[in-house]
């Protein structure tokens, strides 16, 4: 099915009332207790918990799920219901190669929210330049944001004109607007993170920089060099 680029560009979850609601999914459990079709991950989880070798998969619609339930798990196991987009050689050519005169930053979180950390490396050598955390109850996006601002401050302090790569569109947007728009709830455990956010936003508003912030093209180049390699 074709999707018009203009509509794609204007895509907004809010317009489809998906902003706050989780997308409805249906979960087929072929081997569980009991097998069946469930309309929430919570219910599905109960049916597979403690079942070694449980067989289950999510579907976007109930009709899809009903058909799948009457078929075999092996017909769906490992099937890319997710579109793992492969770039055409034209796209690869247009993207080109990364500029190695740069640093790369990335964040990782065990759980999201969860135990979050971030670091920056030399894109060329992968040598670690800075690393912070882990911090309790952070989000992936906050980590990517803090990493980017840390990188900006690092390069300014070094008087370096290298550019910075990030794979996070969210963090790049927040830095551009000098505003971390996280929805993360404050807790007693993540005070430090919110202090760092405030400190980062303050840095952005009180400092100038000419550093180019560039999207790391993961599909073309593989994982960003700063990646923690846990996926």
Partner RNA sequence: ACAU
Q: How far apart are CA 176 and CA 45, in angstroms?
A: 40
Q: Which member of 106, 117, 201, 217 binds Mn ion (CB under 5 A)?
A: 106
Q: Which member of 167, 193, 196, 204 binds Mn ion (CB under 5 A)?
A: 167
Query: Cβ(111)–Cβ(69) under 8 Å?
Result: no
Buried b (16+ CB within 10 A) or exposed e, 146-160: bbbbbbbbbbeeeee
Of 117 and 167, the one with the shorter C-beta distance to RNA is 167
Q: Quick check: 227 binds Mn ion (CB under 5 A)? A: yes
Of 5 and 50, the one with the shorter C-beta distance to RNA is 5
Q: Quick check: 117 binds Mn ion (CB under 5 A)? A: no
Q: Quick check: 219 binds RNA (CB under 7 A)? A: yes
Secondary structure E strands in 112-226:
114-122, 128-138, 163-166, 213-215
**Which stretches of the chain bind DNA, using CB under 7 A?**
13, 19, 22, 25, 27, 41, 56-58, 81, 112-113, 139-142, 169-170, 173-174, 181-184
Write the interaction track for RNA spanning residues 2-31; mark x where CB under 7 A is met and - where it is not.
-x----x--x-x------------------
Of 33 and 81, the one with the shorter C-beta distance to DNA is 81
Helix (H, G, I), strand (E, B) or coil at 66: helix
Q: Could you tell me how far CA 197 lies from the centroid of its own chain?
A: 18
Cβ neighbourhood burial of 75 (10 Å; 0-12, 13-18, 19+): exposed
Helical H segments across 158-217, by residue range: 169-176, 191-206
Of 205 and 230, the one with the shorter C-beta distance to RNA is 230
Of 181 and 189, the one with the shorter C-beta distance to DNA is 181
User: Any residues with CB less than 8 A from the CB of 219 and at least 6 apart, and which?
Assistant: 85, 87
Q: Site residues (CB under 7 A) for RNA?
A: 3, 8, 11, 13, 83, 85, 106-107, 140-141, 144, 167-170, 216, 218-219
């Amino acid at each position: 099915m074709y999707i018009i680029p203009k509509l794609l560009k204007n895509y907004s979850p809010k317009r489809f009332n998906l902003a706050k609601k989780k997308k409805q999914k249906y979960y087929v459990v072929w081997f569980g207790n009991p097998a069946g079709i469930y309309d929430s991950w919570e219910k599905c989880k109960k049916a597979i918990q403690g079942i070694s070798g449980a067989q289950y998969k999510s579907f976007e619609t109930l009709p899809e799920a009903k058909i799948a339930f009457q078929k075999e798990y092996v017909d769906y196991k490992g099937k890319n219901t997710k579109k793992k987009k492969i770039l055409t050689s034209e796209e690869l050519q247009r993207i080109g190669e990364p500029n190695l005169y740069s640093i790369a930053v990335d964040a990782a979180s065990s759980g999201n929210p969860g135990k979050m950390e971030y670091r920056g490396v030399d894109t060329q050598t992968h040598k670690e330049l800075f690393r912070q955390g882990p911090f309790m109850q952070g989000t992936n996006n906050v980590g990517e944001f803090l990493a980017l601002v840390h990188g900006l401050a690092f390069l300014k302090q070094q008087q370096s004109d290298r550019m910075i790569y990030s794979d996070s569109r969210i963090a790049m947007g927040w830095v551009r607007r000098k505003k971390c728009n996280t929805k993360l709830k404050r807790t007693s455990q993540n005070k430090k993170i919110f202090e760092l956010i405030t400190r980062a936003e303050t840095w952005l508003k009180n400092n100038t920089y000419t550093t180019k912030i560039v999207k790391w093209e993961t599909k073309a180049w593989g994982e960003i060099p700063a990646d923690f390699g846990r996926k």
